[in-house]
Amino acid sequence: MKRPMQRLLLLATCVALAGCTPVISQRGYVQNLDAEAGVAAGVDTKTTIEQKLGDPSVQAAFGADAWYYISQKERQIAFFDATTLSRHILAVYFDKDGKVTDMKHYGLEEG
């Protein structure tokens, strides 16, 4: 009778420990350095940027005309809140004619 109880206890322990394994997840834009390097200010337009980089995560609603490509890596253990490990934001700025004026990279340290 002891042997089945020990197996059940071992199985319950393994299941409990497996639930504590951290889950790493990549969310949002998957950075493509080759495509980003091919972007030329004054030449590329919104259409060519969309072809090279895909749809933006967010478009600016106020101020400068900009598209933001956001990626984030998070770690979560069981039911606890996720912890952000890294964040990368590629900002592409456009002029009034829809041509690229600038590209900037931001990280977790910029907020």
pLDDT single digits (tens) 34-85: 999 999 999 999 999 999 999 999 998 887 799 999 999 999 988 888 888 9
Mean pLDDT of the chain: 87
Burial 23-38 (b: 16+ CB within 10 A, else e): eeeeebbeeeeeeeee
What is the pLDDT, as a whole number, of residue 16?
Answer: 65
